[in-house]
Structure 1
Amino acid sequence: MNPDLALGTYRCRDVPQAAIHAVACGASWIDTAPNYHHGRAQAHLQPVFAGNRDLRVSTKVGFFTPDIATAAGDAGVLTPAEADSGHCLTHRYVAWQSRRNAAELGHTPDLVFVHNPEQAARPHDAIASAFTALEVEARAGRIGGYGVATWTGFEGAFSVADLLDIATRCGGPGHHLAAVQLPVSLVMLKPVAQALGGIGPLAEAIAAGLDTFASAPLHGGELPSMVTDELVHLIDPGSTPADAALRVTASAPGVKRILLGSGRAQHWEAAQRALALPPLSDKTLHEVIDVLGA
């Protein structure tokens, strides 16, 4: 089954417009965070959810803007030292931020991702603190479940097995750990290479029944200008560089959702067409990895 397209709002310049195009192309999921778009992404999405109640949403806890730090300090959930760090995963802050996210969105989050826990001095302890708070939120029905969104965490800070172990310790066998998010692209090919061998975070997440989100499939919009004609020909002769790059991400075993951050209708339409094509063969993916390295 081909992965679904979802809107990722990290580098979106016009979040509401991007959401309109995403929904028009069949996207049913939006991924956001309280620190995206200078702290305004969630508020900008509130009218979108009001008009599309079936849309699902994932948000995050961890990073915060100066305005959020001030509000959290006033609420007594961030110390001055924590506020200065720009990132916090303490139990009290995570609970407060999760509820603030829901209020800003005007929508119950389907998922709350623990955002880049590799930033913490002791990642496992930080994850446990966040999971403990999010278990309370999930059991109270204030969120659907939780996960971990990471950039480099699976490079040694933790594994999917570690996350499952921590979730079980925090929430028992009925824990609400539901998803992982990580970069998968022509720039970040290691997860693809691992998945082809049946190992790594994508394979482990699927085996555990977790949802998987591929972030930065076009590396912040930089990839199309980096892809050579020779690479396009290897991946999918006649396609555009953006389509070729998306097809590699979409063909990675275990990817269920791909986060696209464009605000242009033509980009969504092209991505929709690219993801409707059959997955690339394992042979082609191996050849791409041989050319670029993992």
Structure 2
Amino acid sequence: MSAQLAAGTYRCHDVSRSLAAAVDAGVTWVDTAPNYAFGTAETSLRPILDTFPEVRVSTKVGYLPHSDWRAVRAAGVLPNDLDRGHCLTRPCIAWQLARSRARLGRVPDLVFVHNPEHGRTDRADLTRTLTEAFEELEGAADAGEVGGYGVATWAGLSSGMFTVSDLTKLAETVGGPHHHLRAVQSPVSLVHLAVVADALDGHGALAEAREAGLDVFASAPLGGGELLGAMVEELVHVIDPRAAPAQASLLVALLAPGVSRVLLSASTPAHWAEACGARPASPCRPIV
């Protein structure tokens, strides 16, 4: 079964407008982070989330937007020896979770540990960081402060810094058999095609996630927009001769084995209508 489209807010110029168009198209999930839209993304989403409580939302912990630096320093949760732009200690995570709940106006359905590989080249250090993050998020989930958690990475999986199996084993160690690890987020596209090839052969990150029962959120399905100019007629025809270039690019992620949701930042109803037509059985689900 192919994936569903979800609204992404990374590099989104007008978060409110984008989500409004996505909801009109029937999209039922939005993914964001405290540092998106110069620190305004979560606050911009709240009016629409209040209006459409059935739309689910995921956010992240890790990156601290410049607009939060004064507040996080005043809170005394930022270690002096850490880069103030990225922090995954338990006090920082707890502080970000409380701030995200206030900005979103609700408990997030998922909270992703955002690029835990950031600034780390040592696997042991990375494991310690993930363990601390998982401990805090397990506690938050037990307390009803988050619905579940996951790991969002740009290069952690593709570089071999960690595997999906590593994450599930760590979650079981920290949270036991009923842990709250629910998802992973990573690039899936023609630019990041190796992960798709691995999945088609029955191994790699997507296959491991499916085996573990984790949702996979595919990020950057259009390669940050670069793929749109590279979708020549011959390539589109190979993927789907009926598709427009953007649709053909999306199909690579939408039909990749193991992918649950594909994150798309599109700002207009026309863009969402085109995206939802990327396959005969629409990847958008109408809200009823």
Tell me the TM-score normalised to structure 1 length.
0.91
1:181-202 Cα offsets, whole Å, 9 max, x none, are 0100011111100100111111
The 8 Å contact of residues 69 and 78 in structure 1, kept in 2 or not, is answered as no
* 1:221-240 matched pairs, under 5 angstroms: 221-240=225-244
Q: CA deviation at 1:220?
A: 1.7
Q: CA deviation at 1:237?
A: 1.6
SS in 2 for 1:138: helix
SS in 2 for 1:117: coil
Q: CA deviation at 1:76?
A: 0.9
1:63-93 Cα offsets, whole Å, 9 max, x none, are 11122222111111103432x4411111111
Q: CA deviation at 1:146?
A: 0.1
SS in 2 for 1:253: coil
Match of 1:103 in 2: 102
Structure 2 unmatched runs, 5+? 284-288
The 8 Å contact of residues 120 and 126 in structure 1, kept in 2 or not, is answered as no
Q: Is the alpha carbon distance of 1:114 and 1:243 closer, same or farther for their aligned partners in structure 2, counting shifts above 3 Å?
A: same
**In the alignment, does 2:44 pair up with 1:40?**
no
Q: Is the alpha carbon distance of 1:138 and 1:223 closer, same or farther for their aligned partners in structure 2, counting shifts above 3 Å?
A: same
Q: Distance in 2 between matches of 1:64 and 1:57?
A: 19
Task: With a CA cutoff of 8 Å and minimum separation of 6, indicate the structure with the bigger relative contact order.
Answer: 2
SS in 2 for 1:30: strand
**In the alignment, does 2:251 pair up with 1:247?**
yes
1:93-147 Cα offsets, whole Å, 9 max, x none, are 1111112111111111000000001114322111111110001100000100000
* 1:100-179 matched pairs, under 5 angstroms: 100-121=99-120, 122-154=125-157, 155-179=159-183
Match of 1:283 in 2: none
Match of 1:291 in 2: none
SS in 1 for 2:202: coil
Match of 2:54 in 1: 54
SS in 2 for 1:220: helix
The 8 Å contact of residues 246 and 275 in structure 1, kept in 2 or not, is answered as no
Match of 2:286 in 1: none
**In the alignment, does 2:262 pair up with 1:263?**
no
Match of 1:68 in 2: 68
Identity of aligned pairs, percent?
Answer: 52
SS in 2 for 1:175: coil
**In the alignment, does 2:86 pair up with 1:90?**
no
Match of 1:9 in 2: 9
Q: Distance in 2 between matches of 1:105 and 1:231?
A: 41
* 1:179-198 matched pairs, under 5 angstroms: 179-198=183-202
**In the alignment, does 2:212 pair up with 1:208?**
yes
Q: Is the alpha carbon distance of 1:238 and 1:70 closer, same or farther for their aligned partners in structure 2, counting shifts above 3 Å?
A: same
Question: Which ranges of 4 or more aligned residues in structure 1 deviate by more than 3 Å?
Answer: 275-279
Q: Is the alpha carbon distance of 1:107 and 1:275 closer, same or farther for their aligned partners in structure 2, counting shifts above 3 Å?
A: farther
SS in 2 for 1:182: strand
SS in 2 for 1:7: strand
Q: Distance in 2 between matches of 1:180 and 1:85?
A: 25
The 8 Å contact of residues 18 and 268 in structure 2, kept in 1 or not, is answered as yes
RMSD: 1.4
**In the alignment, does 2:276 pair up with 1:272?**
yes
Q: Distance in 2 between matches of 1:101 and 1:215?
A: 21
Structure 1 unmatched runs, 5+? 280-294
**In the alignment, does 2:27 pair up with 1:24?**
no
Q: Distance in 1 between matches of 2:29 and 2:155?
A: 24
Tell me the TM-score normalised to structure 2 length.
0.93
Q: Mean alpha-carbon deviation: is it higher for 119-128 or for 100-109?
A: 119-128
Q: Distance in 1 between matches of 2:62 and 2:95?
A: 11
Match of 1:282 in 2: none
1:196-240 Cα offsets, whole Å, 9 max, x none, are 011111111111111110011011222111222211121112422
The 8 Å contact of residues 73 and 80 in structure 1, kept in 2 or not, is answered as no
Q: Aligned partner of 2:181: which letter?
A: L
SS in 1 for 2:225: coil
